[in-house]
Structures are given as C-alpha cells and as structure tokens.
C-alpha cells in the first residue's frame, strides 16, 4: 500500500545520510521532498502542513545539530511525528457485563460484511463467544453472504424473522445472546452507495436500541481522501468509537490511513490486510510508521508466525537443523506452514531493509515457484523424501512426469537442497549458533 511513499522517503533519507553536518537549508530541502511525497500519497493537506511544521521545529533545532548522526536523528524525528499523527493503539472496549454489542457501519462496498466475519473469527479465537447479526435487509444477498461467512468461521448468525426492521432484528439478537450465553454481538448494519438521512436515522435508531460498546466505521482505504470525508460525516451523526480500514493490502496510496485519525479524532482499531478470514490486524501506529519508512515490522511477523506455527513441530525441526537431518519432507512441511503466514513478498516487507528486494520479486512468481516445488516433492515416495541421495536418473524421470515438471527442475531442487544441507552441517558444528538463536 505504501510502496511509492516508502520509496520516496527512503530516497530523501539516503540523500541526507550522505551529508555529515546538516544545515538548515539541507533540512528544509529534505522536508520539501517529504511534503511532496505525502501529498502525492493522498495525505490530507492540513495533516501534511501540521506534520511538516512539527518536524521542522524539531529538526532545525539543537536536537539535530548536537547529534552524532544528524541524518539518523531526522529519520527518528519523522518516525516519532508520524506515530503521533497516526494516534495511539486502542483495543476494543469489552469491559462490563456481557453481551457486548459491536455495531459495524459503512458505505456499501467497503467490506463491512466480510469484516464482521473477520472480527468474529478473531474474537472467537481469543476465547469470546460471538454472535453475528444480519441487520442489512436492503442489499441483495447480504444475509446469505453473512450466513456463508459465519459457517466458514464457525460462528452462528442471527437473521431475525422475515419482514422485521433492523431495529427489531438487533433487539431480537440481544435477547438471543442473553438467553444462549453469547458474550459478543456483532451487528452488520446496512450500507448505502452514499450517505443519506434515512441511512443515518436508521443507524441512530439501532444504536439507541442496543447501546453498543463499540461503534466501528468500516472504510475502504482505496478511496483515499473520500474515506476521510465519509468518516467525518458518520462521526457527526453517529458518534464513532473506532475506525477499521479495509483493503490495506491493495495498491492504494496510503493517504487515508495517515490522515483519518488526525482529521476525525477517532482511533483506528483494525486493518484489513487480505481477503481471508484471518487477515485482520490490530492497529499499532509504531508498526505502521516503521512500514511506511521502510524499517519493517518484525513484531507483527513474529505474532503471525506464533499463530501459524506448531511449537512442538518447530522444536523438532530446530533439532533436525542442529543435527543436519533435515529432509525434503520437513522442507515441504515448513514451506506449507510459511504459506499460511501469508505471501512471501508480504513477509519480506516486514523485515528491516528487505523492502527493496520485494520490488524485484513478483508475488505471482514466488507462488508459482512454491507450487512447483510442492508438486515435485509430492511426486516423490516417502523414502525418496527422507533419503534424496537414492534418487537416480530413472527416479528423476518418474518424479518429473508425476509433477508435470522437467528433469532439470528436479535436478535444480535437489541441488538447492544439497547446498542447504551443507549449511546445516555448519550449524551442527556450532558455527551457526548465533543465527539459529534467532529462530528459537
């Protein structure tokens, strides 16, 4: 999402780093470039103006001139002020007596219904007992869509009776939740193609009838400054407690994510980072600032890995790495676990200094290569996976035919695996202990 902005900011900081001592003119020239980069990323002009003013006030003062590394100090200031602009992380308010009502609002097409299912999936995994409520009676197939998504995430959906109004459905859902012990009620309210009085009046009525702990506005990050305008208008009529940005994994310029909190005063609570039901991240301003500045986001990567990887199996693999007994079977299993974290390009973007590499790697190419590797290994017998050294010419031909690949492809994979095994022998002799400790 922030690729273009990140590239431009990194160029500015790279130019600064070539200078020893920074003059006021150097800082002003750099900030002009930062200002242009933010405006081109569709950041609200008022937000840009205030942001640059704050950075300049700090960057031309003693804070930078006394620093041993002035350029790094400017990057530090930009990072801190970016975090300030993005606001603070704000967890869901789930205190008090359950059931807690979470009302989702938004325009049609913002991804509200899908977000309801993602939120239910996340809360269920955290130990809550959520109930999804289909309160959108206007959009064709909205109720059916929520029922399908509810089945996918193993969360029941309350639809009410035919002919009931959204307010009646919401009230019925609350009664159902109390009777059956649901701890959270997630209301998927109706969206419209544009904001109108009828829509706002209905939302206000549902809110009055259910007294939600959270009123979250779901906004499409791809709409840029329109997302900010929509959030402002909703907040004026139906007081919001939080914002959820969807389609953050798309090719939007990123301005909405940077602007929306400062303009509205409403905290961002979640980011939708993909289409799958687990593609929902809590909003952490410091982590997003690090991504924008090309500094990676290792904490989010670790959290994703912890949710995905089997700890016991990971310990077994680590032991095999130490003893150089890692097989093609282990390799296939680890690759499949890695795929569950997300696309390789997204994983690399979370590692510091790796953002430039992702420009040279196509997500489609990496997915294709991984599928080819899986096909080749799946075409091997169990014995061949565990003892690749027994794979002779005739076996290679059979594996190539079975996987739809060429003998050369099979040779390439075996060669790469042999090289990896040589490195593992270094680990087993203790030379790689420092690197291995990173994965423990």
Q: Are 264 and 44 in contact (CB under 8 A)?
A: no
Q: What is the pLDDT of residues 398-431, one digit of tens each?
A: 999 999 999 999 998 888 888 776 666 655 555 4
Please give the model's pTM, rounded to 2 decimal places: 0.67
Contact 135, 189 (CB under 8 A): yes
pLDDT by residue (tens digit) across 291-308?
777 655 445 555 555 555
Q: What is the pLDDT of residues 184-204, one digit of tens each?
A: 999 999 887 778 888 888 999
Using a pLDDT cut of 70, give the percent of the chain over it: 76
Q: What's the CA gap between 105 and 90, in Å, rounded?
A: 18
As given in the structure block, the two tokens for residue 302 are 């670790």
Highest mean pLDDT among 39-43, 93-97, 177-181: 177-181
Hey, which residues does 102 pair with through a beta bridge? 186, 214
Task: Name the maximum alpha-carbon separation found in the chain.
Answer: 74
* Dihedral sign for Cα atoms in the order 212, 216, 218, 223: positive
What is 303-439's CATH number, 3.20.20.10, 1.10.260.30, 3.40.50.9100, 3.40.50.300? 1.10.260.30
Q: Give dist(CA 259, CA 267) in Å, integer.
A: 11
In total, the chain counts a number of residues equal to: 440
- Any idea where the domains of the chain sit in the sequence? 3-86, 100-295, 303-439
| pLDDT at residue 74 is higher than 60 | yes
Do strands 280-282 and 268-272 pair parallel, antiparallel, or not at all (unpaired)? Answer: antiparallel
Tell me: domain 3-86, CATH 1.20.120.140, correct?
yes
Alpha-carbon distance of 255 to 390, in angstroms, equals 56
Q: What is the average pLDDT across 350-377?
A: 65
In this structure, which CATH number among 3.40.50.1370, 3.40.50.1240, 3.40.50.300, 3.30.830.10 belongs to the domain 100-295?
3.40.50.300
Q: pLDDT tens digit string along 97-150?
A: 899 999 999 888 888 999 999 999 999 999 999 999 999 988 878 899 999 999
Task: Report the C-alpha gap between 27 and 55 in whole angstroms.
Answer: 10
Cβ–Cβ under 8 Å, residues 232 and 260: no
Q: Three-class SS string for the chain? A: CCHHHHHHHHHHHHHHHCCCCCCHHHHHHHHHHHHHHHHHCCCCHHHHHHHHHHHHHHHCCHHHHCCCCHHHHHHHHHHHHHHHHHCCCCCCCCCCCCCEEEEEECCCCCCHHHHHHHHHHHHHHCCCCEEEEEECCCCCCHHHHHHHHHHHHCCCEECCCCCCCHHHHHHHHHHHHHHHCCCEEEEEECCCCCCCHHHHHHHHHHHHHHCCCEEEEEEEHHHCHHHHHHHHHHHHHCCCCEEEEECCCCCCCCHHHHHHHHHHCCCEEEEECCCCCCCEEECCHHHHHHHHCCCCCHHHHHHHHHHHCCHHHHHHHHHHHHHCCCCHHHHHHHHHHHHHHCCHHHHHHCCCCCHHHHHCCCHHHHHHHHHHHHHHHHCCCHHHHHCHHHCCHHHHHHHHHHHCCCHHHHHHHHHHHHHHHHHHHHHHCCCCHHHHHHHC
Query: Comparing C-alpha atoms, which of 91, 90, 89, 85 is closest to residue 293?
Result: 85
């Amino acid at each position: 999402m922030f690729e273009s902005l990140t590239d431009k900011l990194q160029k500015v900081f790279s130019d600064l780093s070539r200078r020893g001592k920074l003059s006021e003119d150097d800082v002003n020239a750099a900030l002009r470039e930062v200002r242009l980069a933010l405006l081109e990323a569709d950041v609200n002009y008022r937000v840009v103006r205030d942001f640059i003013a704050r950075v300049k006030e700090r960057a031309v003062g003693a804070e930078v001139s006394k620093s041993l590394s002035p350029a790094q100090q400017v990057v530090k200031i930009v990072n801190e002020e970016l975090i300030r602009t993005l606001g603070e992380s704000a967890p869901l308010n789930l205190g008090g007596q359950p059931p807690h009502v979470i009302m989702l609002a938004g325009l049609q097409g913002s991804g509200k219904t899908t977000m309801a299912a993602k939120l239910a999936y996340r809360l269920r995994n955290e130990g809550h007992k959520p109930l999804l409520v289909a309160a959108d009676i206007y959009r064709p197939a909205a109720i059916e869509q929520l029922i399908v998504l509810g089945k996918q995430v193993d969360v029941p959906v309350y639809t009410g009776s035919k002919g009931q109004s959204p307010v009646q459905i919401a009230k019925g859902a609350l009664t159902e939740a109390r009777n059956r012990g649901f701890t959270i009620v997630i209301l998927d309210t109706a969206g419209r193609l544009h904001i109108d009085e009828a829509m706002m009046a209905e939302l206000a009525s549902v809110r009055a009838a259910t007294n939600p702990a959270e009123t979250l506005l779901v906004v499409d990050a791809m709409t840029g400054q329109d997302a900010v305008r929509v959030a402002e208008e909703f907040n004026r009529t139906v007081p919001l407690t939080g914002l959820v940005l969807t389609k953050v994994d798309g090719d939007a310029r990123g301005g909405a994510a940077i602007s929306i909190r400062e303009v509205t005063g409403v905290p961002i609570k979640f980011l939708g980072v993909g289409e799958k039901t687990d593609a929902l991240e809590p909003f952490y301003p410091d982590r997003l600032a690090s991504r924008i500045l090309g500094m990676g986001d290792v904490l989010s990567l670790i959290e994703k890995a912890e949710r995905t990887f089997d700890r016991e199996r990971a310990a077994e693999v680590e032991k095999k790495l130490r003893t150089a007994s890692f097989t093609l079977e282990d390799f296939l299993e680890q690759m499949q676990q890695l795929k569950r974290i997300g696309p390789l390009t997204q994983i690399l973007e979370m590692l510091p200094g790796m953002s430039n590499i992702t420009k040279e790697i196509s997500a489609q190419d990496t997915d294709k290569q991984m599928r080819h590797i899986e096909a080749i290994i799946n075409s091997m017998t169990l014995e061949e996976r565990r003892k690749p050294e027994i794979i002779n010419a005739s076996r290679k031909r059979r594996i190539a035919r079975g996987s739809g690949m060429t003998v050369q492809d099979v040779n390439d994979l075996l060669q790469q695996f042999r090289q990896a095994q040589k490195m593992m022998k270094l680990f087993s002799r203790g030379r790689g202990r420092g690197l291995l400790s990173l994965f423990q």
